[in-house]
Structure 1
Amino acid sequence: MYTKFFAFMILGSTFLMPALGHMNMKSPPPLQHRDNPFTQTVDEIYEFPLKKDGSDYPCKGHINALGTPEGKPVATWAAGSAQTFTLEGSGTHFGGSCQASLSYDKGKTFKVIKSWPGSCPNRESGSDQTFNFNIPKEAPSGDEVIFAWTWNNREREFFQNCAVVTITGGGAGISSLPDVLVSNIENGCLSPLTTAELKYPNPGTVVELGDGQYPLVLPTGNC
């Protein structure tokens, strides 16, 4: 009886782990997220990292929703305004590093507006983590701007969730801002594994450092 009980517990844990093992952006509601009011087909494994072969980059493959009813903006932000994003889930993988970025070319390039090297997500808590950032005053106006949260975690996984937003009162452009760091999807760039957190080679001018519990280490390869 005990053997069957423990076998059942192990099997149950195996099926539960994927649902509990990651984080994802909840707000602003991303493309094909259950909270997005324009979603018609919900991504049931939204909290999973991008595929190792990079076939679902950018935005977990949801970029095709742009220009369709599912790709309507979910928020309107003024250039220069203070904003937030919220993460949900229970698996922080004890930290990592995050970036917030904007794309004006349907995901071909993402320009970093803030970086969090270390303890992002917050390693001690799970759901409903809120992070503050500002929309650059130079950000151009647009109705199909992609806001992206990216996470390079300590397990060499890469996450990217994308929400469509409208930017108003915009400026001349953000082409001078650094590109988002993409790693661990067979693109020749690897983030640190297990014992350190990612130090961004070019984090931009707006940086919020983590708690310093782990050393920050630069990625290796063609980054």
Structure 2
Amino acid sequence: MGMSNPLGQAGPWSKNPDKLVHSWIGFQGKPFPCGGYTDGPVTNLTIGEVINVRFWTFGLKNITATPPLPKTIPTARHGGGSCEFSLSYDGMKTWKVIGQYTKSCPDIYTEWPVLIPDNIPECTDPKTCFFSMSWIAHKVPQFYHHCANVVVRGGSNYTALPSFALPTLDMTVVDLPPNKTLVSAVGDNELQSPGPDENEIKMNKNGDFKHGGKLMDKGLNLNLVYRQG
């Protein structure tokens, strides 16, 4: 499962597509972060806007299609799980969470709204500025991480303040030594997602994850399950 909005690295829309782009971290040595990819199409994000994140698989032939989609496309979503959406302003060294969805994420048949916080600094170099989706699957202990090169700017009414900062919550990384392994997330156990939870949509659109927001430090309960080896 990959990310098509914003346009992720190494997808079929990229100058350097890779057939392993939708694979989990560690598959055939695929490295973290971002699967080892560094360059891709650049997406312009506006501070304070809500971006509707979309997912993609190779079964989706029309790469520009938006939901609703025909319910006949195989998704390999492994019964869902938990997704995080994060920003990196330092060339992939650190990742700060700006949105989360649990149990029913991901799926190509719906969109996943995420607020670009209204109190973050600008980031204008797409070689150091990245947006990512990470997914902890339900049926299998696999961790996915797909990234997009971005430029993050304020809109016409934006004025940067000294207090502006990225959130403090770090992206959760599992199933990748030295982090905990054999980890999965509680999912919906369905072939197709029922879609994002309405309460979680509100949290993701209302700024609960931004610096100073009520979920800035702890985030949602990702419902992680630690399996016995």
Band the TM-score falls in, shorter-chain normalisation: 0.5 to 0.7
Q: How far apart, CA to CA, are the structure 2 residues paired with 1:138 and 1:191? A: 36
Displaced runs of 4 or more, over 6 A: 206-209
The aligned residue for residue 217 of structure 1 is 223
- 1:186 matched to 2:177: yes
Q: How far apart, CA to CA, are the structure 1 residues paired with 2:226 and 2:117? A: 30
Normalized per residue, which structure has more helix?
A: 1
> Aligned letter for 2:105?
C
- 1:177 matched to 2:168: yes
Q: How far apart, CA to CA, are the structure 2 residues paired with 1:33 and 1:24? A: 8
Q: How far apart, CA to CA, are the structure 1 residues paired with 2:222 and 2:41? A: 38
Count of residue correspondences: 175
Q: Over alpha carbons, which structure has the higher Rg? A: 1
What aligned pairs does 1:86-105 form with structure 2 within 5 A after superposition?
Answer: 86-89=54-57, 90-105=75-90
The aligned residue for residue 118 of structure 1 is 103
Which structure has more relative contact order (CA 8 Å, sep 6+)? It is: 2
- 1:77 matched to 2:45: yes
The aligned residue for residue 131 of structure 2 is 147
- Structure 1 residue 163: deviation in Å? 0.5
The aligned residue for residue 4 of structure 2 is 26
Q: How far apart, CA to CA, are the structure 2 residues paired with 1:156 and 1:44? A: 21
Q: SS state of the match for residue 60, structure 1?
A: helix
- Structure 1 residue 78: deviation in Å? 1.3
The 1:49–1:106 alpha-carbon spacing in structure 2 relative to 1, beyond 3 Å, is: same
The aligned residue for residue 108 of structure 1 is 93
CA contact (8 A) 1:30 1:164 kept: yes
- Structure 1 residue 187: deviation in Å? 2.4
- Structure 1 residue 176: deviation in Å? 4.0
Counting aligned pairs with the same residue, the percent is 25
CA contact (8 A) 1:96 1:151 kept: yes
CA contact (8 A) 2:142 2:183 kept: no
> Aligned letter for 2:130?
I
Structure 2: which 5+ runs fail to align?
A: 58-74, 188-207, 210-214
CA contact (8 A) 1:113 1:177 kept: no
Q: How far apart, CA to CA, are the structure 1 residues paired with 2:52 and 2:30? A: 29
Q: How far apart, CA to CA, are the structure 2 residues paired with 1:109 and 1:208? A: 17
Structure 1: which 5+ runs fail to align?
A: 1-22, 66-70, 198-202, 210-214
- Structure 1 residue 88: deviation in Å? 1.6
The aligned residue for residue 136 of structure 1 is 117
Q: What is the RMSD computed on CA atoms of the aligned residues?
A: 3.1
Q: How far apart, CA to CA, are the structure 2 residues paired with 1:139 and 1:162? A: 19
- Structure 1 residue 105: deviation in Å? 0.5
> Aligned letter for 1:138?
N
